[in-house]
């Protein structure tokens, strides 16, 4: 059941079916959370998208630069636990 809800993890666990690759960035932003699991996550997404809503094409670097210039935005959902729903689903199946 967890694999149906969290499909990326299924892909990672199936190396014979899928080829995967990690891309290294200049800065580690793995702590930034972009999924919407909690009200704070939605607040973060709305803050970012509101900034760029009138522009159909915005590059990753521009969005990241804007967030870094507005650190209060990155703090909105800082308390979200990464993969919390997945971890909970594992507890339910074990």
pLDDT tens, residue by residue, 50-82: 999 998 889 988 999 999 999 999 889 887 777
pLDDT surpassing 80 at residue 46: yes
Percent of the chain at pLDDT > 90 equals 33
Token pair 């930034």: residue: 32
Which sign does the torsion angle of CA 81, 51, 46, 43 carry? positive
Alpha carbon distance 66, 77 (integer Å): 16
Q: Is 0.75 surpassed by the pTM of this model?
A: no
Nearest to 31 by CA among 84, 86, 80, 89: 80
Residues 6+ apart with CB under 8 A from 11: 17, 18, 20
């Amino acid at each position: 059941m967890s694999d149906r809800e969290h499909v990326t993890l299924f892909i990672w666990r199936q190396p014979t079916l899928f080829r995967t690759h990690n891309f290294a960035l200049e800065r580690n932003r793995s702590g930034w959370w972009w999924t919407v699991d909690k009200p704070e996550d939605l607040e973060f997404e709305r803050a970012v998208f509101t900034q760029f809503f009138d522009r159909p094409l915005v590059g990753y670097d521009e969005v990241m630069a804007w967030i870094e210039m507005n650190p209060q935005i990155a703090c909105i959902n800082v308390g979200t636990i990464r993969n919390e729903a997945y971890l909970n689903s594992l507890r339910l199946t074990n």
